[in-house]
Structure 1
């Protein structure tokens, strides 16, 4: 039974109003972006079709700007497709946006309930998170200070804790755990491993091809906003490595 069905989905973003910018209109028209009048658009994803089964763990690879983050946001319900359809089954938790549902003027403690409610948490789950999150994040007295005063690492701690505090049917994960000290990173990895064991379906984009191969049951290579290849993790990752080596010898490919 599929957890996620993506049917011929495309995402495009308006760039600006080109009605009074004739030079840019001309240049964009020559490369097939936008028209002579009105807004210009950039296609982040083009005609994506994927079916992700219940219990499957799909890894995403591709160079920076390939469209992986846009695809994660699409699956996570944070954006809607410009065309096509995306259907998901069950509770979807997107560990993507660091500021989802968070009010910068409120304290870390005060910011626990709204994001969890937006993620579909029950009253009991919110109450449990209020007890557990302050201790896990290790924010100490900062948990009662405004979120806007937090460093990037502190913000990452709070949002990661929020997104992994309630069970998910589908976990959508963009790797950004680098912020923070070694102790927190280790605790976050342990928490993530436990969280994954309780989540039925995973969609993951990571800088580490080794991690992608180890965690995934299938891998999709995203290139230029399209699915270039899907299949066995080792085969797809090897094909991607060879492609990147040929394109830029000596450079290590990085995920988006």
Structure 2
């Protein structure tokens, strides 16, 4: 048995934008999934107050046989939105994805870049109290990455608590005001100057 996280304890408050850094396998993704309630801790507890949204795995919840529009509804519900909330956001998702009539087609007909735009647009259309993000800026072409960064900046400024796991230390310093380094499943709070 492998212990992914060991004796981890911390508290985040309104206004915290927390960067998680560490080498591959350090436990960043596991920690985010545990915070989100995807994984249950074997010891201790996770306490959250407020609506939590995740951008953990672009592609989670997508059904390639459904159309883009059907997947918007499906993924929105999986992210905790009501069907009415999802429908209210469709025109904004259409504008961001720039997929036009492709939204009427099954997602299996999309290129990987088109599917990424759709998934990212839906995942970032929520308005949560707590936002947990795992390394999303490497996907898509350069134009999409710029638009994705702008969209994330707006979303981050609207949430109470933001937690971001990334290998890109420059992005972590840009978006975050607190920093946690994971090393072999343990968490150490560090200063901005110690990030990369």
- Corresponding residue of 1:58: 18
Aligned residues: 196
Highest RCO, 1 vs 2 (Cα 8 Å, sep ≥ 6): 2
Between the aligned partners of 1:167 and 1:199, the Cα distance in structure 2 is 7
Structure 2 residue 170 is the aligned partner of structure 1 residue 214: no
- Corresponding residue of 2:147: 187
Q: Please tell me the root mean square deviation across aligned C-alpha atoms, in Å.
A: 1.6
- Corresponding residue of 1:103: 63
Between the aligned partners of 1:220 and 1:159, the Cα distance in structure 2 is 27
Structure 2 residue 160 is the aligned partner of structure 1 residue 230: no
Equivalent residue for 2:9, pick from 40, 45, 49: 49
Query: Contact (CA 8 Å) 1:95, 1:172: kept in 2 or not?
Result: yes
Between the aligned partners of 2:47 and 2:64, the Cα distance in structure 1 is 32
Gaps of 5+ in 2: none
Counterpart secondary structure, 2:19: strand
TM-score where L is the length of structure 1? 0.71
Query: Contact (CA 8 Å) 1:133, 1:162: kept in 2 or not?
Result: yes
Larger Rg: 1
The Cα of 1:123 is off from its aligned counterpart by 4.1
Structure with the higher fraction of residues in strand conformation: 1
The Cα of 1:78 is off from its aligned counterpart by 2.0
Between the aligned partners of 1:216 and 1:63, the Cα distance in structure 2 is 18
Equivalent residue for 1:177, pick from 132, 137, 147: 137
Residue 73 and residue 151 in structure 1: after superposition, are their counterparts in 2 closer, same or farther (change >3 A)?
farther
Please identify runs of 4+ aligned residues in structure 1 that moved more than 4 A: none
Query: Contact (CA 8 Å) 2:22, 2:167: kept in 1 or not?
Result: no
* Deviation by residue 1:116-153 (Cα, 9 ceiling, x = unmatched): 12222134421122222122112233222222333332
Equivalent residue for 2:54, pick from 77, 86, 94: 94
